Amino acid sequence: MSQAPADGGFFPMVYDELKRLAAARLKHERDGHSLDATALVHEAYLRLGAASFADRSGFFRAAAVAMQRILVDHARSRKASKRGATRTIAIDAEFSDADTDPDLVLDLDAALERLGQEDPSSAEIARHRLFAGLSIEESAEVLGISRATAFREWAYARSWLATALGSV
């Protein structure tokens, strides 16, 4: 784990990595989408404000939550009225259905909130995987847990979310 820079700001140190993660997260968005990787990273930075973080792990935890909030807010602003439609989704790190279906982003956010009350560590892994685009290994490093534990937490979260969202 990296220690905080003298000025307490991790953003300059991880900007390229955050932009890469954001680009991967948004790659399934429709053409001409108003939110791009740069905008997502910059909005996350603004939402983090003048907060200081003790280490890289704390920064990435906060950034994952900020990016989740931004994507959920964006989905709310463009929500289409598709009531009553049935859907089949697969919960994985390439959760592309959530990129194009604002209702699904909102449902996923609500399900993550419920999972967080039952199992906060699984919800945090899911947040990193689905909203920040971190790999299992990156998530394990950020959370300070073993790779095996991260895989177990992700498997549980994926199954729990699939059930909660009515997926197969």
Helix, strand, coil fractions of the chain, as percent rounded to 5:
65, 0, 35
Model confidence pLDDT, tens digit, residues 7-29: 446 677 778 888 888 887 777 66
Where are the domains positioned within the chain?
A: 11-164
CB 150 within 8 A of CB 139: yes
pTM for the full predicted model: 0.57
Model confidence pLDDT, tens digit, residues 40-74: 888 888 888 767 788 888 888 888 888 888 888 77
